[in-house]
Structures are given as structure tokens and as C-alpha cells.
Structure 1
Amino acid sequence: MASLACYVSFAPIRCSSNRDNNPNNQQLNSMKINGTSAMSTTKIEGLTQSSTGLGTTLVAVTSRAETEYNTNTKEQTRQNIPTEKQLVDPYRQGLIIDNGVGYRQTVVIRSYEVGADKTATLESILNLLQETALNHVWMSGLLSDGFGATHGMMKNDLIWVVTRLQVQVDSYPIWGEVLEVDTWVGASGKNGMRRDWVIRSHETGHVFARGTSTWVMMNQKTRRLSKMPEEVRGEISPWFITKKAIPHDASLKIKKLDDKAKYVTTNLKPKRSDLDMNHHVNNVKYVRWMLETIPDKYLESHQLSSITLEYRRECGRADIVQSLCDPEEDEVQQGNDINILNGFSLPSDILVGRGLMGSFDMGPMKFTHLLQIKGERENEEIVRGRTTWKRKISTIPFSI
């Protein structure tokens, strides 16, 4: 018997999902019937139909548009990105402050955010800065589906890139400590934006750290820096305020290191887990590469008190990175005396039980850093950095 083929249209089969209960989503589907001599059972939209006689097999064709609708609806439901300004976020314990333009989030230092001494790591602090910045944009109602990008930025294929970051750490919070992180934005020149942070104790108000950063826009397709479109300026400028977390921002240029640097780590390769949603290496990973170049013995006895980063270019998945670090030897003793008893000054090493001679074995207090991509002909700078350190104060052996 010759096979029989024809196309038929049928009314849509209604399912139990909320989407299908919407009459606007109903549509006609085409089905092809191939005549065969065998009996078959076919599943159609969650239902089962058996046929005999011609032994027809029904093949349901789901439209591509319907599939994309399902996917987008699920993503929107999971993210639930606000389309209007929100004042309180109970899930993130965040709220809008500073006359409706600043943001404050309450966080707890978790076990995986601390090191062996039970204090928060620098990476954890930097991650807090990034997370609260994104949550600030989230609550503003301006967030599109990009990595902190507004609706106007997405229309123009623009993303944010950081050009400079400075963080000052007075002391480090400990495991389980409850913090308040405040963040806000302001103008930086004609085409840039400044974002600042203050991290303080929720219980006492003691300030642990302050940060400031400068951001510009880059075209996501050409990877070139872009001017700020007026549409985007209109979105973000109402959120600008003038106060600064670090009033006296020292903008001293960071010198470029060469292969004569004292400490060098080569053949650093980005992993997939190092990439962010913009498909380049995350800023926090850069800091990790920098600090890993400093000798372990130094890190065991010192803690970072400030870091300044100047970003030159992005780093991708296939790049091979070299980390250079050079100590500033003339900073051995500067800023390490503790004043007690009517202004009398004693080296801090006496107070931590290392004796009078301990102060002459302090080591450098500042380092200059460079991350660069190793090229066949020349190297390309990724980021320059400067770090300032202080000795870890252990238990004082006597009372004052």
C-alpha cells in the first residue's frame, strides 16, 4: 500500500500551566500524518493518543517562539528584576538611604569569607563591594539583563568597566560579625561615574573599610571605550551625590614595572570560573594574582591596609598572565610607631614583644605591582597596583 501523507491543523490542546490558560498564547499547530501499517502511540503536549487502521503517527511541532517565551518567562520569574524603584529589599536586607539615592545592605561575614586567623580576607571585602553595587542598581529599577547595565546601556551595547579602584582597610571584620555596607554614586568627569563604599560595624558603627572607584563605558561588541549617551546620563544622573568615602584621594601615578622586579610569577592562566558575566576576568581575581607574588613569610606577619589599582585593559580566557611585584625599600619604618604616654613614641615591635631590635627588621611597607599579558612581541598591561601594609599586632605581653 502506498503511503499517505497530508498536513492538518487542529485546535490547541489546553494544558494545566498558567501560560496556556491565557487565550492570547493559543495558536494553531501543524501536524504531519504519515500513513504506515503499524500501530503507534504518540505523546502530544502531555497527552497520549493511540491510533489504529492506517496506524498514523502524529508528530507535534512546537513553535520556536513559544519555546523562547517559556525560557524568557522562567528567567524573569527566577530573577524578578524590579522595573520600578524599590525602597526595601527584605531578601538581601537592603534599603535605600541618603534621600532616596544611596543604598545600605546588612551582611554577615561567613565562614568561607575568612582566613586562618578568622578575619575576612581582602577578596571577601572586594566581593562585598561588587555585590552591594549591583544590588544598588537592582533596587533602582534601572537594571536590565546585563552585569549592572541599565536599559539605555543595553540598547547601545554598552557595559561598565572600572578604570581605578582604591580601598583603605583600617581593620578587618571577623567571622560572624554583622556589617553595614553603604554605597552611592557620583559624577566623574563628563563620561565617567564614581562609586564609593563605607563598611562599618552594625553594632558599634566602627568603620572597617572605605572604597572609591571610577567607571566608564565600553562597547560590548567593539571592546572600545565609549562616551556616555544622553539617554544613559538621564537614567543615572538623578542618583548622583557629591559626598566621598575617601575625602583626600591620593591620585599619585603608579610607576610601570619591568622584568627587573624583585618578585615575578609567570604563566598564570585564567580559568572558566575566573570570568564574569561580561566574559572577562573578574577584578577580584587580579588582586589574588598580585598578592600571591608577595612572599608567604611577609603575608604571615603583615596585613594589607590599602590598595590602589589602575586598570589598563581587560583579560580574557586565552591570555597568559605575568605578575610582577617590587618593594619600596624606603618605606621600611614610615608609619609604624605607636604614640603612648604624653606623646612618647615607641616602635610597634617593642609592644608586640619583638624587642628594640625588632623595629629594624620590619621590611618594606609598600609594594608596586603589575599584571601583564605575555605576548610574542611585546607585553600588554592589564592593571597596575600599589599596596600598603602594616604589621599584624599580636597579643600584647604586658598591660599599659
Structure 2
Amino acid sequence: MASFSCPVPYVVRCSIAKEGGDFNRQRYAKVNGGIIRSISEADLLSRSAKASRALIPSVAENGFVVKEDVRQKIPTKKQLVDPYRQGLIIEGGVGYRQTVVIRSYEVGPDKTATMESLMNLLQETALNHVWMSGLLSNGFGATHGMMKHNLIWVVSRMLVEVDHYPIWGEIVEIDTWVGASGKNGMRRDWLIRSQATGHVYARGTSTWVMMNQQTRRLSKMPEEVRAEISPWFIEKHAIKEDAYEKISKLDDKAKYMNSDLKPKRSDLDMNHHVNNVKYLRWMLETIPDHVLESQQLSSIILEYRRECGSSDIVQSLCEPEENGILRDVDMIEDSEISLLNGFSLASEILKGGGLLGSFDNGTLRYTHLLQIEGEAKNEEIMRGRTTWKKKVTTTIPFSTQ
């Protein structure tokens, strides 16, 4: 005997005798031991599906939802708790905290979250913060006032520092909040911490400006929009920067280069330009494999110059910077290693002694450039700087503030 549950306005438990393999063959449905009528399994499932859809008035007969806003249920008023996203409002009613579990597809071969995954989580929590505020319109994080003026947010600069990468299955809390950045910009900061210990794993800060969605030109902040978002501004910094580091522009003499990079349709976000996480991936693809295997990315600075579209051809350049004693890890493989103070030592002496260990404890820095390859000239998309340190196996993070 096979048992079916029928999701109709009142639930009836039906038992149907199995006779042969014909799915559409008529059966006698029994309820409480009595035969009520002839019915096929296909008809029963069809009626069940229709009954389920009937419970949701916004769903059409073909199973597709009629209105997008019914599916999204974007709040029109400020929410304090979001049980679906494990989020809540903090910082006196203006900050946002979301609890997330590191998924299997967010980690690399070493079972730790990747920088790309962290960047995606930062973006997601930023959008959910706007969602909870009640200011979100139907744009990609745009408020009602921004939609009225046809404006979208674009990030102009981002800095992320990582002390410790969360591992697969670990529960972390991500705090985010916003503040003013000049007259026409907004600063957004983040903290990522372990829920179990409270230790801070990573910090991030970013600057956002507005762009007209049609002209693709930067725009001043309308007073209507300022009135919407300024009550959410607080004077708190995840990373205190006294002055921005200058990132030099690379040229075709850069040591590492990847050319003919083509965005895929899946790389575009809801603002119809290449997502900034894709830029990060293009940057990291120029880092030598032995660095990726032995070092971990401890900080990244991204300075965005222009957007990249689906038809653009991109070139990624990378140049190691002079840092501490060694300019680049590749120099270890050379027959002779030149030190910054002018002395030279044979590589076999370094490998046989204790100096190599001191090199491992240092940091490596690389300058990056993404540009659109043009017939007449190349156009900058983004400049960046990555800092790398020796991978450690310790599970004890660094601070709780």
C-alpha cells in the first residue's frame, strides 16, 4: 500500500492500492476504510499541487508568482530582527549584525574561507543592512530617493585586513555600519568575528559614491537621499587610516601579466557591470603559485577607476614590491640573492642557514592593475595592492576589538 498526503484546505490521508505500473491508471481511494471515488495518482498529485497554490493568492495557475515584491517581501519600515537571514539591528538601532555559517563552497583546499568568499559576505551583509532599514527600493541596495533620481551605489575604494580566516562549518558574526565620507560619499565598515570566542578575524572599510544609472557618470548626493541615510551614520571606524597609501600605475613592463580576460554574463551584477569580486579573482590569478601555496593574503586595497562591461577585454598586471629584505619570493630560486643594503649572498648559503627562516616570517607585497585593452590606449579599471604573510597553523586569533 502507498500513502499520499493531500495538501488541500483540509488534509485527507488517502491510501491507494498499487496495481501495475500505469501512473494514470484509475485507482479507488479509500478514506477511513471506505471507497469514496475513483482517482488516478496523476490526478491526485495535480489536485494537490493546485490546492497548494490556492493557499498563496499571489501565485498563478501555471505556478509562477505574479508580483516580484510578494516574493521578496522588502520591508517598508525598519525591522529589528530578521529570522530568515539570522540578522539583527545593533549599535543603538543603526548597525547590523548577521550570523553566518561558512559553507563548503566558500572554502579552498585548506578548508579555510577564501578572500573572495569574505568579500561576498561583506557585500551580502551590506545589502541586508539596507534591507532591514526599510529604505530599500527595488534596486541593488538603492534607497527610494536614489531610485527617484535614477542613482546607484558604486564602490570607489575598499580595504580589507585579515588576521585569521574562518574554517569550514565555523559560525561567524559580521557587523556592519555606515558613516559619512566627505560631502557626497558614504563609508561602510565591517568586522568579522568568531561567535565561539569573540575574536576579530577580519576588518574592512570602503567608500561609496553615487552614479547615474543611465549616463554612467558620478553624481552628487541629492538632499532627499542625504535625509534618508544620514540618520544611520555613526562615527566608528573598523580601520583607522590617517592617509591613503599611494598605489603606482603599472605599465607593460610588469613582471606578471594575464591578457585577453573576458567577462562572462555570470560575472555581471544587478547594476549590469562586472562585480568587484571578479576583479579580485583576476588580480589573484597573476600571483605565482608558490606564493599562493605558502603565503596567505593578509590585506588588500582596491581603488576603482571605472566600471567594466560584458564586452570589454581585460588585462591584469602584477609587480612585486620591495619589502623588507627580499623583493620577491622568486629571488630565492636565483643563483644569487641581492639584499637591499647592497650585499649579495649565494642562495645555497641562505638555504643552508637560518636566514631563510627570517625571510619566511616577513611579508610580501604586490602592486596590481586591471585595465581594458583598447586599440588606441588602455583604460584603467582598478589599481590594487595585496600583502601576504606566511601561512600559520595556529587556531588562536588575535584580538577581540
Cα distance, 1:395 vs structure 2: 7.9
Query: Aligned-residue CA RMSD in angstroms?
Result: 2.1
| Structure with max Cα Rg | 1
1:96 corresponds to which of 89, 94, 100: 89
Aligned partner letter, 1:191: N
Cα distance, 1:357 vs structure 2: 3.7
- Other-structure match for 2:284: 291
Aligned partner letter, 1:138: W
1:194 corresponds to which of 187, 190, 201: 187
Aligned: 1:136 with 2:126: no
The within-5 A match list for 1:127-166 is 127-166=120-159
Question: 1:104–1:183: 8 Å Cα contact kept in structure 2?
Answer: yes
- Other-structure match for 1:20: none
Residue 253 of structure 2 aligns to a residue whose secondary structure is: coil
Report the CA distance shift for 1:230/1:85 in structure 2 as closer, same or farther (over 3 A).
Answer: same
1:118 corresponds to which of 99, 106, 111: 111
Distance 1:354 1:170 in 2: 31
- Other-structure match for 1:46: none
Distance 2:318 2:75 in 1: 44
Residue 127 of structure 1 aligns to a residue whose secondary structure is: helix
- Other-structure match for 1:384: 383
TM-score by length of 2: 0.74
Percent pairwise identity: 75
Cα distance, 1:356 vs structure 2: 1.1
The within-5 A match list for 1:56-71 is none
**Unmatched runs of 5 consecutive residues or more in structure 2:** 1-59, 328-350, 396-401
Aligned partner letter, 1:389: W
Distance 1:332 1:130 in 2: 36
Question: 1:328–1:364: 8 Å Cα contact kept in structure 2?
Answer: no
Distance 1:232 1:332 in 2: 50
Question: 2:100–2:171: 8 Å Cα contact kept in structure 1?
Answer: yes
1:331-371 C-alpha deviation (Å, 9 max, x unpaired): 4469xxxxxxxxxxxxxxxxxx9961423654861000000
Report the CA distance shift for 1:226/1:273 in structure 2 as closer, same or farther (over 3 A).
Answer: same
Aligned partner letter, 1:313: R
Distance 2:242 2:277 in 1: 21
Distance 1:177 1:298 in 2: 26
- Other-structure match for 1:34: none
Aligned partner letter, 1:367: Y
Aligned: 1:226 with 2:219: yes
Question: 2:326–2:359: 8 Å Cα contact kept in structure 1?
Answer: no
Aligned partner letter, 1:382: I
Cα distance, 1:249 vs structure 2: 5.3
Aligned partner letter, 2:74: I
Distance 2:226 2:65 in 1: 28
- Other-structure match for 1:367: 366
| Alignment length (residue pairs) | 310
- Other-structure match for 2:170: 177
Cα distance, 1:220 vs structure 2: 0.3
Structure 1 outlier segments of 4+, above 4 Å? 70-73, 360-364
1:167 corresponds to which of 150, 160, 172: 160
Aligned partner letter, 2:120: N
Cα distance, 1:248 vs structure 2: 3.2
The within-5 A match list for 1:1-400 is 73-248=66-241, 250-332=243-325, 356-359=354-357, 362=360, 365-394=364-393
1:133-191 C-alpha deviation (Å, 9 max, x unpaired): 00000000000000000000000000000000000000100001000000000000000
1:236-282 C-alpha deviation (Å, 9 max, x unpaired): 00000010000235511111000000000000000000000000000
Report the CA distance shift for 1:76/1:188 in structure 2 as closer, same or farther (over 3 A).
Answer: same
Question: 1:329–1:364: 8 Å Cα contact kept in structure 2?
Answer: no
Residue 241 of structure 2 aligns to a residue whose secondary structure is: coil
Residue 367 of structure 2 aligns to a residue whose secondary structure is: strand
**Unmatched runs of 5 consecutive residues or more in structure 1:** 1-66, 335-352
Aligned partner letter, 1:283: N
Cα distance, 1:72 vs structure 2: 8.6
Question: 2:155–2:207: 8 Å Cα contact kept in structure 1?
Answer: yes
Distance 1:354 1:171 in 2: 31
Residue 137 of structure 1 aligns to a residue whose secondary structure is: helix
Question: 2:363–2:389: 8 Å Cα contact kept in structure 1?
Answer: no
Distance 2:194 2:289 in 1: 30
Question: 1:327–1:364: 8 Å Cα contact kept in structure 2?
Answer: no
Residue 131 of structure 1 aligns to a residue whose secondary structure is: helix
